[in-house]
Amino acid sequence: MKKFIPRFDFPDYNIPRTDFKGHQLKALRKFESLRPQLNLILELRDVRAPLSTRNILIDQLIDKRIHQRLVIYTKRDLIADNTQYLQRLSHWQQELDEPFILINANQRRSARHVLDIIKSYKRQLEHCNQGLALPAGYKVLVTGMPNVGKSTLINTLRGSPRKVARTGPHAGVTRNTSETIRVGEPHDNIYLIDTPGIGLPGRLVNERQRMLSLSLCGCIKTNLVDPVIQADYLLYLANLQEPQKHYPGTPTNDVYQLLNRFGTPRDNITAAAVYWLQQSHRGLIYDRELLLDTDSFSLRGYLSRQPQPDPRSKKQSRMTTRDRQLQNVNQLFPKLSDR
């Protein structure tokens, strides 16, 4: 039998570069006003797409002199078998010197671990303050891209059967920054703030494929990208990883051939794509760079190569709504345009 060779390239489809919305800009403004009272920033990312779900706007929010920071990779359970990948990710994070943990946000044990870390950060801060208690309590902003599990983690940390934060399997469930939510014992004095997921304005997205990875993680609106293109990208990734685990029949590079195998009524190819996208694809990594071998990819190298477009060069008269949004973002985070 002929050996199956997966595609190494993926077509450059003309897909939207952004799903940035007005409520996200409003949230960024709110972050700016909360900034002086925050002690810890918890940045959540989806472990299956750590590059795509990293948000450079959050880097701009952090002032190292006053804020502590912890990166939390969620959805660990969806990739638990892939120990080799988890080891590589840990190695890259250590290289960056960015404190991080991996969790399942639905799991009480994970939430207890997060709470223990928050308490230890708080103790560190009190120690630096010569043991003085923090008058307004210890404030923790829970932030990240849409749908990465921010509200889920807050509910699990609260531990009560009644949810304090609304959750759902698609992007944009939380629309407003919450009031403070107490976690732990009353004397712990720890308060979390739930936030709407923040995406990136189009000009800060240099590769369209980011949108495909984000789409597979549910971080952008479901119908922003044609489901057949999403299915094609999923097929491409599955073939580079373990095709036999993710679809029936012999491996194929032809998405139409695959979708026809699902036998949907009246050969509705879009319905077949949606059906396949909704299956669980445990173990799959959605950022294709991470499939390169160790010599060809390092997270530090990748991040240093990310271009930072200068939005100031755009003429005011030709500004679109998106340009204006980006300009607003840059006014909030001037450091971005100086890079």
**Which parts of this chain interact with ligand GTP (CB under 6 A)?**
74-75, 77-78, 104-106, 146-152, 167-169, 171-174, 196-197
74 binds, among ligand GTP, Mg ion, none (CB under 5 to 8 A by kind): ligand GTP
Going along 75-202, which residue ranges are E strands?
Answer: 100-102, 138-144, 180-183, 190-194
CB of 196 to Mg ion, least distance (A): 7
147 binds, among Mg ion, ligand GTP, none (CB under 5 to 8 A by kind): ligand GTP
Nearest-10 Cα torsion for 283, 286, 292, 298? -110
Between 171 and 277, CB nearer to ligand GTP: 171
Tell the residue number behind the tokens 């223990």, with chain if given: 116
User: What distance in Å separates the CA atoms of residue 289 and residue 89, rounded to the nearest whole number?
Assistant: 12
User: What distance in Å separates the CA atoms of residue 296 and residue 237, rounded to the nearest whole number?
Assistant: 18
End-to-end CA distance of the chain: 53
Q: What are phi and psi of 129, to 5 degrees?
A: -85, 25
199 binds, among Mg ion, ligand GTP, none (CB under 5 to 8 A by kind): none
User: What distance in Å separates the CA atoms of residue 227 and residue 231, rounded to the nearest whole number?
Assistant: 6
104 binds, among Mg ion, ligand GTP, none (CB under 5 to 8 A by kind): ligand GTP
Provide, for the chain, the percentages of residues in helix, strand and coil under a 3-state DSSP scheme, each rounded to the nearest 5. Answer: 45, 10, 45
CB of 177 to ligand GTP, least distance (A): 11
CB of 260 to ligand GTP, least distance (A): 30
Between 147 and 209, CB nearer to Mg ion: 147
Between 105 and 329, CB nearer to Mg ion: 105
Between 163 and 339, CB nearer to Mg ion: 163
User: What distance in Å separates the CA atoms of residue 43 and residue 335, rounded to the nearest whole number?
Assistant: 19
264 binds, among ligand GTP, Mg ion, none (CB under 5 to 8 A by kind): none
Element of type H or E holding 216: helix 209-216
Between 19 and 232, CB nearer to ligand GTP: 19
Between 75 and 246, CB nearer to ligand GTP: 75
Under the criterion CB under 5 A, does residue 174 sit at the interface with Mg ion? yes
